[in-house]
């Protein structure tokens, strides 16, 4: 009997080993300075599955602007990676789920008990009535304003709580040869616009914009562009050449006072630049958005036709696990959406974000795929370009509405 059990155990082991072989190609935009958190997860996966050859396929470019284009070519060309990074929300649902290119992960969620540990509003973002389509690995906050406390003190200003207050500070900072607010390449400006829109419209108004209750041409929505224009006049002139990391560097280096960026900036400042939250850098909700948490989540799924589905399922199991999430997120600047996440592993910034996540009104990000389908969000930089060349709020608002109508934003 003992021998038989040993044989069964051995066969089980062999079967397990046979399962965990071959390749796992993970596709994302977490390259360079963004890589450490993903690398920690991959290291954990390799410990658990030493005989799997993990291919870490990255396409550089903040917020996935370049990666999404490469992914599209691969998916449409019948060459999907085993698993790819995609924002929870419309970026997933309005594209690859709508095109019936993803496998349903409902049974994985049930098997792992995830229906009880992930908040319902997040599960809703990655679901349709036909299934659950990805595994969220984090919660990032988009509406954060970053600064260096000692520098603000030196310049005699305090973090503005409204954009009006910021506009009052702007000439003071400029007179000291400091860039009041640093911005980078196009998507970072969409990100800034989004936070100004939330401040101007309020959380409810922002939601109404995406459900069609408010049109982009509504006077309140047009006003967003007026404020955006005034704020942009207080930014650096070399924005288009700057990555989000380089923009962050300007704040850290004392050339700029503020930057509005998602809290991957906290990950960069702590993990890469080794700064201490609170002293090395400070943070506040972006002006006018205190009490609102503009969220986004990175997630990974299993595309249909992925070459190594079993290895991908193991990868997704790790991503959603407590250990996986509490390994990844403290390095990334994000928090774990799991209700049982161990906050003692997180720094002071992340602890404060976790508290706000619990208490604030939650809204979804435009720049990072939560609220609008890609057909809309990928064209929004053109609206920004129209505003930049015309400096006309009405023209930008009309262009945004025209795209919304053309792509069927509200369906
Ligand atoms: C976001 C993504 C973050 C971070 C950031 C900068 O879209 O969700 O995880 O990578 O882009 O690239």
Chunked in runs of 10, what are the mean pLDDT values of the chain (411 residues)?
A: 48 50 97 97 98 98 96 97 98 96 98 97 97 98 99 98 98 98 98 98 98 98 98 97 98 98 98 98 98 98 98 98 98 98 98 98 98 95 97 98 96 81
Out of 91, 262, 319, give the residue to mutate to test ligand 1, the one with the largest number of ligand atoms within 8 Å of its CB.
262
Give the Å distances, CA to CA, from 180 to 146, 189, 192: 12, 15, 14
CA of 244 to the centre of ligand 1 (A): 10
Name the one residue in this structure whose structure tokens are 């910034």: 349
Q: Is the CB of 95 under 6 A from ligand 1?
A: no
Q: What are phi and psi of 280, to 5 degrees?
A: -65, -35
CB distance 62 to ligand 1 below 6 Å: yes
pTM here?
0.95
Distance (Å, whole) CA 28 – CA 38: 9
Q: Which atom of ligand 1 is nearest to the CA of 368?
A: 7
Residue 245 Cβ contacting ligand 1 at under 6 Å: no
Q: What's the rounded Cα separation, in Å, for the pair 215 and 292?
A: 21
User: 248 alpha carbon to ligand 1 midpoint, in Å?
Assistant: 14
Report all structural domains of the chain as residue ranges with CATH numbers, in order of start.
21-139+296-358 (3.40.190.10), 141-295+365-407 (3.40.190.10)
Q: What is the pLDDT of residue 9?
A: 45
pLDDT at residue 271 in the model: 98
Side-chain-side CA neighbours of 64 within 13 Å: the count stands at: 21
pLDDT at 21: 87
Give me the pLDDT at residue 2, please: 47
């Amino acid at each position: 009997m003992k021998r038989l059990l040993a044989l069964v155990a051995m066969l089980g082991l062999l079967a397990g080993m046979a399962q965990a072989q071959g390749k796992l190609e993970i596709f994302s935009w977490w390259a360079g300075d963004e890589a450490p958190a993903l690398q920690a997860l991959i290291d954990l996966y390799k410990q658990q599955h030493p005989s799997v050859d993990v291919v870490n396929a990255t396409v550089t470019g903040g917020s996935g602007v370049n990666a999404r284009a490469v992914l599209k070519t691969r998916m449409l060309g019948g060459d999907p990676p085993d698993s790819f990074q995609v924002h929870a929300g419309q970026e997933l649902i309005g594209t690859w789920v709508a095109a019936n290119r993803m496998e349903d992960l409902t049974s994985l969620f049930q098997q792992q008990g995830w229906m009880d540990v992930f908040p319902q509003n997040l599960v809703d973002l990655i679901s349709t009535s036909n299934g659950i389509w990805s595994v969220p690995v984090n919660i990032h906050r988009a509406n954060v304003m970053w600064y260096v406390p000692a520098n603000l003190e030196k310049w005699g200003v305090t973090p503005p709580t409204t954009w009006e207050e910021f506009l009052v500070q702007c000439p003071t900072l400029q007179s000291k040869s400091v860039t009041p607010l640093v911005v980078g390449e196009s998507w970072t400006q969409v990100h800034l616009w989004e936070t100004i829109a939330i401040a101007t419209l309020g959380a409810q108004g922002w939601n109404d914009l995406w459900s069609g209750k408010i049109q982009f041409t509504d006077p309140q929505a047009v006003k967003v562009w007026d404020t955006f224009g005034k704020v942009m006049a207080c930014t650096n002139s070399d924005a288009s050449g700057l990555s989000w990391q380089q923009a962050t560097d300007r704040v850290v280096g004392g050339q700029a006072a503020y930057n509005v960026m998602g809290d991957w900036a906290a990950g960069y400042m702590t993990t890469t630049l080794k700064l201490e939250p609170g002293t090395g850098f400070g943070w506040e909700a972006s002006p006018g958005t205190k009490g609102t948490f503009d969220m986004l989540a990175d997630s990974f799924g299993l595309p249909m036709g992925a070459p190594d589905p079993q290895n991908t399922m193991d990868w997704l199991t790790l991503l959603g696990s407590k250990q996986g999430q509490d390994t990844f997120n403290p390095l990334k600047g994000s928090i774990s959406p799991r209700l049982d996440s161990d906050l003692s592993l997180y720094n002071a910034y992340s602890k404060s974000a976790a508290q706000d996540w619990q208490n604030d009104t939650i809204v979804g990000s435009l720049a990072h795929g939560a609220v609008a389908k890609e057909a809309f969000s990928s064209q929004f930089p053109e609206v920004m370009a129209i505003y930049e060349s015309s400096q006309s709020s009405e023209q930008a608002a009309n262009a945004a509405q025209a795209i919304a109508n053309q792509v069927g934003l509200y369906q």
